Structure 1
Amino acid sequence: MINIKSIKPGPKPKKEDGTPDRRRRVTPEKKEDYPTLKPHKHTPGH
């Protein structure tokens, strides 16, 4: 029998009030450092 293990996520960053941030975000001042995503090309049947 094959034993499948999932990837364990790392710790979430904390917000200023101490609660963990639910997801990572790119702040507006850092936005120009990251390229935009390529447009998605949907192929029928997949």
Structure 2
Amino acid sequence: VMCVQYWPPNKDKDEEYGGIGVSVLKEEELANFHIRTIRLWKKDEKG
């Protein structure tokens, strides 16, 4: 299954996609897949 990457490629840098902020909080690599915990927020409401 293909998926469009909607999380930041760099774990240490937040990104914004269409007014929604995205950051990777945690990343775990397993044998056949990755588990990422992400945080989403509406632009200008990061606090």
TM class by shorter chain equals under 0.3
TM-score (norm 2): 0.20
Greater RCO (Cα-Cα under 8 Å, separation 6 or more)? 2
The TM-score with structure 1 as length reference comes to: 0.20
| Higher strand proportion | 2
